Amino acid sequence: MKALLIIDMLNDFIKPDGVLYCGKKAEEIIPEIIKLKNEFKEKNFPIIYLCDAHELQDEEFSSFPPHCIKGTKGAEIINELSPEEGDFIIYKTRFSGFYKTDLETLLKKLNIKELYLTGVCTSICIMDTAADAFYRGFKIKIPVKAVADFDEEFHKFALKRLEKIYKAELIY
């Protein structure tokens, strides 16, 4: 069975007034993620949101400005991709959706073998989540029109690395 992971499609990353706005490219992936979400829903495959949710004094803020603070508008999933009944939401404090979360437990419970990774940023949260998925034996698929990065060079490098190192199938 397969699942769709929607990673960090949050106001602070996707909206122009967000603290870590990822640019127009991030906004442009919204329709593709909506399309995939609808396809997965039709087939009763799980939709799992992975969402940054930081405390005010998070260690990550030594590398990035404070963003996606729990309880703020910036930490909310964008309206266009609002979760629906039956969708899962997992809050994370690091780049990988597996780090100190219940993601692996949920995937095993749902008998998931294949993960479709969508969202932002290709070179950070997508790649780190894919790495941890690879180490755990999951098949990884990356719908290329459904991932984006604030840095186009990093995005291209990440796609190459995902394919070569983590055996991700890039779907064009």
Give CA–CA dist 136/123, Å, rounded: 20
Token readout for 53 is: 């949710």
2-171: CATH class:
alpha beta
Q: Mapping DSSP to helix (H, G, I), strand (E, B) and coil, where does residue 89 land?
A: strand
Q: Which pLDDT tens digit goes with each residue over 9-50?
A: 999 999 999 999 999 999 999 999 999 999 999 999 999 999
- With a cut of 90, say whether residue 60 has pLDDT above it: no
- What residues are paired with 133 via a beta bridge? none
Q: What is the pLDDT of residues 73-129, one digit of tens each?
A: 999 999 999 999 999 999 999 999 999 999 999 999 999 999 999 999 999 999 999
Alpha helices in 43-148 (DSSP H): 103-109, 127-135
Per domain, the residue ranges of the chain are 2-171
